[in-house]
Structure 1
């Protein structure tokens, strides 16, 4: 893989990442890949030649070196960087799969048809892919830190080691080349790996909390549109006035006795003169 292809892949990962993911990618690329390529690889380049033992017994130095360095730091970090960056490419592959489905869907239903509003938006399956990639990256980082801690006794590199492995004739003293410089780079790479673990955990918390907040807003929005149904009668069968009545119910309900008394249903009283005038016949004779 050349640097242009690697840069294109990293650009795709950076495009579909959150803020924590972009910081994580910067830490991996600047503080781990660049340090590994520029400085660390040169420090461990001649480690076996600088591993000197105070004996000329053939094979003793090689056996002692293999005993104290079953796997080199530089090769272990190379494997760690490869395995750590691979889960991030899962997101890029998932987005590419969505783009391909979108292209086929538009070719079948027209250019205006859309299968996804945004193929790079972390919803549905892409959200799960992104979350799983974070868990995988965190597990890989922790696993490699545990391996380095288990092999090299808490990341410590002594200046002098004593070896009694066969074919050494007796217990011999072996000296590690550049022990202080290797110790500094070891602590630096371990610290960068720990920082990446913290960033992954923060990103997991951010994604999960954001998802729960979105679900809570949806549930709250649905609750506002649900009509509330009241019972027609209260628990007390002799008291039905606990709930307010609507205007339609008041119109349909017959008036009570007091309302009927207060209403002016009776005809107005006529005056006596009007009664007499109405009852007396008109005896006038027209002229």
Structure 2
């Protein structure tokens, strides 16, 4: 396995990760990959050779070793590291897909046009891809911890195991090489895996809570804009539909057209009638 290529691929994930994701990558590199490459491989390198049984029966030691160690710890951890880091490449591939779409869009509409403000920003489909990758990583970590506990019945590694599998002639005592050393590394790798699970859960909570806060802020901003628009509409001088009209006192009301006509023309009519009567001869006769 080429760990340098593996490390180079995972380094590209660091650009698109959150703070919890960067801590997770640091834990994977320092506490798991480095420990695996530097120390764990050497400790488990001679496990079958140092598995010693107190019998000379041919094939008994091999059968007993396969019975108690159906899969080696070191190979199980190698598979775990490969599977647990594969979901992170989903994010890198999604960003590469966005970059390709952005390149084609600029080639078609010009360099000044943009399809994405930032292809690595976790919005839309990339947010869902990142969240799904976290769930997948957490599921893989939990699955491998369960497999390790189920296969070896616990995380504890005993010094002595008793085997009565054929072709062993009777109950045979077998001794594990470097049991204390292997026990320490087993606990260390299990603890690092548990820490990665906690970091993944924290990152899931962080992403979901941040998304909820962003949606709540958008809703508040939308309601605020609607309220401001309604206030501006009510302040419009041409919009006086809702302005209450005060009732005027009858004494304060302006005179109507008929009243003004009568008041202006009736006195002159009376004066004219009096002049006609004064100038007319008295035609009345007395009997």
Same fold (TM over 0.5): yes
Q: Which residue of 1 aligns with 2:214?
A: 214
Distance 1:4 1:61 in 2: 37
Distance 1:252 1:212 in 2: 44
Distance 1:223 1:103 in 2: 37
Out of 199-208 and 214-223, give the one that drifted further: 214-223
Distance 2:223 2:83 in 1: 46
- Are 1:85 and 2:88 matched, yes or no? no
Distance 1:14 1:160 in 2: 44
| Superposition deviation, residue 6 in structure 1 | 2.9
> Residues 218-246 of structure 1, C-alpha deviation per residue, up to 9 Å, x if partnerless?
111111122598xxxxxxxxxxxxxxxx9
> Residues 142-189 of structure 1, C-alpha deviation per residue, up to 9 Å, x if partnerless?
000000011112211111110000000000100000000000000000
Q: Which residue of 2 aligns with 1:157?
A: 157
Distance 1:111 1:249 in 2: 51
Within-5 A mapping of 1:217-232: 217-226=217-226
Q: Which residue of 2 aligns with 1:261?
A: 251
Task: Flag the structure with larger Rg.
Answer: 2
Q: Which residue of 2 aligns with 1:63?
A: 63
Distance 2:254 2:119 in 1: 74
CA 3–192 in structure 1, closer or farther in 2 if over 3 Å, else same: closer
Q: Which residue of 1 aligns with 2:9?
A: 9
Distance 1:159 1:128 in 2: 47
> Residues 228-265 of structure 1, C-alpha deviation per residue, up to 9 Å, x if partnerless?
98xxxxxxxxxxxxxxxx99358784x52x53434686
Q: Which residue of 1 aligns with 2:196?
A: 196
- Are 1:110 and 2:129 matched, yes or no? no
- 3-state secondary structure, aligned to 2:240: helix
Distance 1:38 1:250 in 2: 81
Q: Let me know the Cα RMSD of the aligned residues.
A: 2.3
Q: Which residue of 2 aligns with 1:272?
A: none
Q: Which residue of 1 aligns with 2:182?
A: 182
Which consecutive residues of structure 1, in runs of 5 or more, have no partner in the other structure? 230-245, 267-278, 280-287
Distance 2:58 2:222 in 1: 80
Question: Structure 1 or 2: larger helix share?
Answer: 2
> Residues 195-228 of structure 1, C-alpha deviation per residue, up to 9 Å, x if partnerless?
0000000000000000000110111111112259
- Are 1:248 and 2:240 matched, yes or no? yes
Distance 1:263 1:174 in 2: 118
Q: Which residue of 1 aligns with 2:266?
A: none
Which consecutive residues of structure 2, in runs of 5 or more, have no partner in the other structure? 231-236, 257-270, 272-287
> Residues 22-51 of structure 1, C-alpha deviation per residue, up to 9 Å, x if partnerless?
000000000000000000000000000000
Distance 1:159 1:250 in 2: 91
> Residues 91-144 of structure 1, C-alpha deviation per residue, up to 9 Å, x if partnerless?
001000100010011011111110000000000000000000000000000000
CA 159–7 in structure 1, closer or farther in 2 if over 3 Å, else same: closer
Distance 2:4 2:51 in 1: 38
| Superposition deviation, residue 9 in structure 1 | 1.6
- Are 1:205 and 2:205 matched, yes or no? yes
Distance 2:4 2:166 in 1: 48
- 3-state secondary structure, aligned to 1:226: helix
Give the total of aligned pairs.
250
